[in-house]
Structure 1
Amino acid sequence: MASFGQTFDASSVEPSSGYEVLPPGKYLAQIVASEMRATKDGMGQYLYLEVDVIEGQYAGRKLFDRLNLINANADAVQIAQRTLSSICRAVGKLQVSNSEQLHLIPLIADVRVRPPKGMYGESNSVRYLPRSGQAANAPTFSTGPANPSARPAVATATPAANGLPWKRQA
Structure 2
Amino acid sequence: MALLPRAANTEDNKETFDFAPIAEGEYILVIAHSEQKLVKGQAHSRLSVTCKVAEGDYRGRTLFLNFNLWHPDPNVAANGMKDFNGLCQACEVMAVEDSAELHGLQFKADVTIDETNPQYINNRVRGYRPANIMAPPAELAPPQVNQPETTPEPESVVDTPPEVQKPAGKKLPWE
The normalised TM-score by structure 1 is: 0.67
Bigger Cα Rg: 2
Q: CA deviation at 1:7?
A: 3.0
1:64 aligns with 2:64: yes
The SS at the match of 1:69 is coil
- The equivalent of 2:164 in structure 1 is none
Contact 2:49 2:66 in 1 (8 A): yes
Alignment of 1:67-146 (within 5 A): 67-117=67-117, 120-127=119-126, 128-133=128-133
**Structure 1: gaps (5+ residues):** 135-139, 141-170
Equivalent-residue separation in structure 1 for 2:63 and 2:76 (angstroms): 20
Paired letter, 1:81: M
Q: Could you tell me the percent identity over the aligned residues?
A: 25
Please say if residues 110 and 129 of structure 1, whose CA atoms lie closer than 8 Å, have aligned partners that are also in contact: no
Contact map agreement 2:113 2:121 (CA 8 A) in 1: yes
TM-score (norm 2): 0.66
For 2:166, the equivalent position in structure 1 comes to none
| Alpha-carbon offset, residue 18 of structure 1 | 4.2
How far is the alpha carbon of 1:17 from its aligned partner? 7.2
CA shift at 1:19, angstroms? 2.1
Report the alpha carbon displacement of residue 5 of structure 1 after superposing the two structures with TM: 2.1
Q: Distance in 1 between matches of 2:14 and 2:130?
A: 38
* CA RMSD across the alignment: 2.9
Match of 1:45 in 2: 45
The Cα of 1:129 is off from its aligned counterpart by 1.7
Kindly state the Cα deviation for residue 38 of structure 1 after the two structures are TM-superposed: 1.4
Is the Cα–Cα contact under 8 Å of residues 29 and 54 in structure 1 kept in the other structure? Answer: yes
Structure 2 SS opposite 1:60? coil
Per chain length, whose mean CA-contact separation is higher, i.e. which structure has more relative contact order (CA < 8 Å, sep 6+)? Answer: 1
* Distance in structure 1 (CA, Å) of the matches to 2:131 and 2:16: 33
The alpha-carbon distance between structure 1 residues 85 and 20, as it changes in their structure 2 partners (threshold 3 A), is: same
State the Cα distance separating 1:22 from its structure 2 match. 1.0
Aligned positions, number: 134
SS of structure 2 residue aligned to 1:70: coil
